[in-house]
Amino acid sequence: MSFQTNLSYCYDGTYYGFLSGVFESFRAKELPSDFFSEDSEQVSLYPVKWIQTDPAKSARVDKAVKEKLGDYCYELVRLGFLSCLPNRERTILCFLHRAFREGPKAANEISDEYVYRMTKAVRHLSNEAHLLKGFIRFSDIDGALCTVITPKNRVIPVIANHFLERYPRENFLIYDQTHKEALVYSDRTASFLKDVDYRLPGSDEKEGLYRALWQNYYDTIAVEGRYNPRCRMTHMPKRYWENMTELGDRFRKEEQKKLKEGLLPFALNE
Amino acid sequence: MDLYDKLTILSDAAKYDAACTSSGATSSSKGTGIGSSIDCGICHTFSADGRCVSLLKVLMTNSCIYDCKYCVNRRSNDVKRAAFTPEELAELTMEFYRRNYIEGLFLSSGILKNPDYTCERMIETLRILRYHYRFYGYIHAKAIPGADPILIQKLGILADRMSVNIELPSEQSLSLLAPDKTKTAVLAPMAQIRKGIVENQSDLVRYRNAPRFAPAGQSTQMIIGATPETDYQILNLSSALYQKYKLKRVFFSAYMPVSDNPLLPAPNVKPPLLREHRLYQADWLLRYYHFEAKELLDEENPFFNPYIDPKCTWALRHMDFFPVEVNEAPYETLLRVPGIGVRSAKRILSARKLHSLDYDTLKKIGVVLKRAQFFITCKGKLREGLIVTPLAAFRALSGDDPAFRTMGTKGEQLSLFDAMASSNESEMKLCLFKPTSPTVTTEPTTGF
Ligand code: SF4
């Protein structure tokens, strides 16, 4: 792009911070070579411009995206930001420059490198979110349902509604260990927490019983004549297993074995 | 007997019912109860055989007064028997649901004492779930053939989906292997459920709060490979069932040998999984790809080809239909191209509005070019360097059918596919490329 600048943007990592950066890019008519959050490990070769998060500016960008570019682009941008796409900020920014020039149809331009990468990343995110709606396992801890997940993408904002509808009368907690975020729903109020630490406490007898029942059910229903681990793996990639009641033990056992045999240099889930 | 052992026995007895059923109805709990049944299927786990698990699938009891020969629960079979109490099963379902292990319950039963008594215990379980626990999750209940219509009605109001197993694909087979069941006993509840659903729909129009009768519809299931019916007969039967009883799904279940009765395949015969898979693929084509049963099979070719899927088989037999121009072909035509699915066909429609598509873009859209290339042109051109012959297409299509690789190589008995089956490539091709109408001629130069 013609107005590419030897400059990098650094922001606070929030969505509003990011949108403030978008605002700045349009205002100053510049396209930074890098765009990263302050806690990322990225180092830039270019001078850094600090982006101050400004609610008013970011609201203007948010509104413009929605009204001028339509729902599809809006989702692409919002979900693209939650995805684990490398350099997602800059990719989305480049896309927005094009989209504001060409209108909503820019999002259908799948041969465009930025659109392609964003679409793919959003599909990856949506897919992971969909899988987790099923794969999440809650433990009953003193009457509240608690779970720890380790997703690649920031899925909590995407799956929150699903679980709020599923458990309107329960209290529950979903903790994303990868991104240190949590959704807490208690006394019919939902809150989203950032930069938190949480560990699942040990289980009591009743919880242990239901886990055992479930594991037993899982083992029983497999029809031996149809044993097909490859098919299982395609539908349920191994990286989800460690948090799943019916497979977690098996996953850890296999890993122990690999460690012992020297196939793994260190334990993966510590 | 404790809960643990009961669950083992009663889930083990239910597992041969292959239907992977996920939710299909929407009922929101509106903050009053627990749960919501959503319409996109959610798999909570995949069992070691690769099947999606979304429901707790158990029998109320595996005791049975009947003696169907293909069934593990038959009276004459020597197995451990158990039964859940309604309270027990309701609580178990609820605790599994809370932990997000499942979407809901799939409840069936052996016949304890008599059909009415059995049905009443199922109703009681569902009643506790719905009214005591305020459970709004998904419930699939099997109607018990022979139970009083009033009880079937009650069950239908508590369940989201109902099903009656047709069991075997023909009346002769049914009377041979399930002497206690008759075609009429199976079809009567099916007709009643259909009627219930239809009446309910008009009730719902009239009274907004009319109770919903099996809002997710009804389905059925039949066992494949226990009896001599052809794929063609099975596919015709399932199309007829879809039409006549307005079924949502017909499930096929490869027969797992459970008995050494001489009327049935011997216990060491492998279940015909690949055949079951082909039937599902064909079923899919009928429901979503605008195909008709008679296009896929006929009297002369009554079995599916084990090597290539039904859609590719059709394509190879109709090379004159191709190539189609991706930039112009209508939706239904695009769907006929191997390597283009519903999703990529829709993406093609929206992407080509902007500008004409080339092979590179098709790849990005998700078209499997390795298969599709033999059947399409882009801007009037074939893919560069590609020479289209039926043989090359056949090799490309048969070489990468994942189903065949994962299932067919496990030693499944391909001889089941009598008409087609022959590992001899040239004979296979003969079958495949036999012109289906006199006007079709496949290139004589390729030698077949
Ligand atoms: S009635 Fe059902 S459970 Fe009983 S033997 Fe027949 S198929 Fe099995």
- pLDDT band at B324, cuts 50/70/90? very high
Q: Are residues B24 and B119 in the same domain?
A: yes
A168-189 pLDDT, tens digit per residue, is: 989 999 999 999 999 999 988 9
Going along B122-208, which residue ranges are E strands? 138-142, 161-163
Instruction: Pick the last residue of a domain from A94, A126, A158.
Output: A126
Task: Using pLDDT thresholds of 50, 70 and 90, give the confidence band for residue B404.
Answer: low
Report yes or no on B214 lying in a domain.
yes
Q: What does the pLDDT read at residue A262?
A: 63
Most confident of B14-23, B252-261, B359-368: B359-368
Q: Are residues B64 and B159 both part of a single domain?
A: yes
Residue predicted with more confidence, B208 or A35: A35
B130 lines ligand 1 (CB under 6 A): no
User: CA of A201 to nearest chain B CA: how many angstroms apart?
Assistant: 16
Question: b/e string for B429-448 if b means 16 or more Cβ within 10 A?
Answer: bebbbeeeeeeeebeeeeee
State mean pLDDT over B135-156.
89
| Residue B56: band (very low, low, confident or very high) from pLDDT cuts 50, 70, 90 | very high
Which residue has a Cα nearest atom 1 of ligand 1? B66
**Co-location of B229 and B338 in the same domain:** no
What are the tens digits of pLDDT across the range B283-322?
A: 989 888 888 888 898 888 888 888 888 998 898 888 888 8
Closest alpha carbon within chain A to B91: A210
Interface test with B, best of A110, A189, A224, A226 (most B CBs within 10 A): A226
Supply the pLDDT for residue A263: 60
Select the more confidently predicted residue: B262 or B375: B375
Query: Could you tell me the CA-to-CA distances from A195 to A39, A42, A158 in Å, in that order?
Result: 12, 19, 18
The answer to the question of residue A267 being in a domain is no
Q: What is the pLDDT of residue B108?
A: 92
> What is the structure's pLDDT at A66?
94
Cβ distance B49 to A222 less than 8 Å, yes or no, reads: yes
- Name residues whose C-beta falls within 8 Å of residue B85's C-beta, 6 or more positions apart in sequence: none
Task: Find the mean pLDDT for residues A229-235.
Answer: 83
Tell me whether residue A270 is in a domain. Answer: no
Instruction: Write the pLDDT tens digit of every residue in A98-120.
Output: 999 998 888 888 888 999 999 99
Pair A239, A179 in one domain: yes
Q: Is residue A115 part of a domain?
A: yes
Residues B251, B18: contact at Cβ < 8 Å? yes
Is there an atom of ligand 1 within 6 Å of B71 CB?
Answer: yes
Is residue A45 very low, low, confident or very high in pLDDT (cuts 50, 70, 90)? confident
* Domain C-terminal end among A92, A126, A160: A126
Share of chain B above pLDDT 70, in %: 81
**For chain A, how many structural domains are there in total?**
2
| Nearest-5° Cα angle at A78, A72 to A81 | 135
Same domain? For B241 and B277 the reply is: yes
Is the backbone of residue A221 left (phi > 0), alpha (psi -120 to 50) or beta?
alpha
Q: For B69-126, what is each residue's pLDDT tens digit? A: 888 888 998 999 999 999 999 999 999 999 999 999 999 999 999 999 999 999 999 9
By residue range, what is the domain housing residue B258? 3-292
Ligand 1 within 6 A of B66 CB? yes
- In angstroms, what separates the C-alpha of B253 from chain A's closest C-alpha? 12
d(CA B354, CA B352): 5
Last residue of a domain, one of A75, A107, A126: A126
Q: Is the pLDDT of residue B412 over 80?
A: no
ipTM of the complex, rounded to two decimals: 0.88
pLDDT confidence tier of residue B272, bands split at 50, 70 and 90: confident
**Sole residue written with tokens 């490198």:** A113
What's the whole-number average pLDDT of chain A?
88
Position A54 pLDDT exceeds 80: yes
pTM (2 d.p.): 0.78
Same domain as B377, residue B256 = no
**Whether residues B52 and B199 fall in one domain:** yes
Give me the pLDDT at residue B410, please: 39
Pick the residue with more confidence: A111 or B23? A111
Question: Which is it for strands B52-53 and B45-46: parallel, antiparallel or unpaired?
Answer: antiparallel
CB neighbours of A39 closer than 8 A, spacing ≥ 6? A13
Q: Do B65 and B113 lie in a common domain?
A: yes
Residue B269 in contact with residue B411, Cβ under 8 Å? no
Q: Are B123 and B154 in contact (CB under 8 A)?
A: yes
Residue B420: pLDDT over 60? no
Q: B196 and B234 in one domain?
A: yes
Same domain flag for B389 and B269: no
Our mutation pick for probing the ligand 1 site, out of B65, B68, B112, counting the most ligand atoms within 8 A of Cβ, is: B68
Of B292, B326, B347, the domain-final residue:
B292
Residue with tokens 């001899």: B424
Are residues B323 and B267 part of one domain?
A: no
Residue A147, helix vs strand vs coil: strand
Q: How many domains does chain B have?
A: 2
Q: What percent of chain B has pLDDT over 90?
A: 25
Contact A138 B99 (CB under 8 A): yes
Q: Are residues A77 and A168 in the same domain?
A: no
The answer on B392 and B261 residing in a single domain is no
B166 and B199 inside one domain = yes
Res. B421 pLDDT band, cuts 50 70 90: very low
Does B53 reach chain A within 8 Å, measured CB to CB? yes
Q: Are residues A177 and A109 in the same domain?
A: no
Q: Which one is predicted more confidently, B378 or B417? A: B378
Q: What is the pLDDT of residue B20?
A: 44
- B282 within ligand 1 shell (Cβ under 6 A): no
Residue B299 lies in a domain: no
- Predicted confidence (pLDDT) at residue B18 exceeds the cutoff of 60: no
Total count of residues recorded for chain B: 448
Find the angle CA(B79)-CA(B82)-CA(B84) to the nearest 5 degrees.
155
Give the pLDDT confidence score for residue B206 in this predicted structure.
56
pLDDT at B400: 56
Q: Output the CA B159–ligand 1 centroid distance in Å.
A: 21
pLDDT at position B138 is 92
List the single residue in B12, B32, B42 with the smallest CB-CB distance to A133. B42
Residue B401 pLDDT:
57
Contact (CB<8Å) B98/A138: yes
Search chain B and give the residue with CA nearest A243.
B45
| A223/B16 CB distance under 8 A | yes
pLDDT in tens, B361-397: 898 888 988 889 989 998 888 888 887 777 777 777 7
Instruction: Say which amino acid occupies B115.
Output: P
Say if residue A157 is in the same domain as residue A111.
no
Residues A116 and A171 in one domain: no
One domain for residues A69 and A151:
no
What's the mean per-residue pLDDT of chain B?
Answer: 79
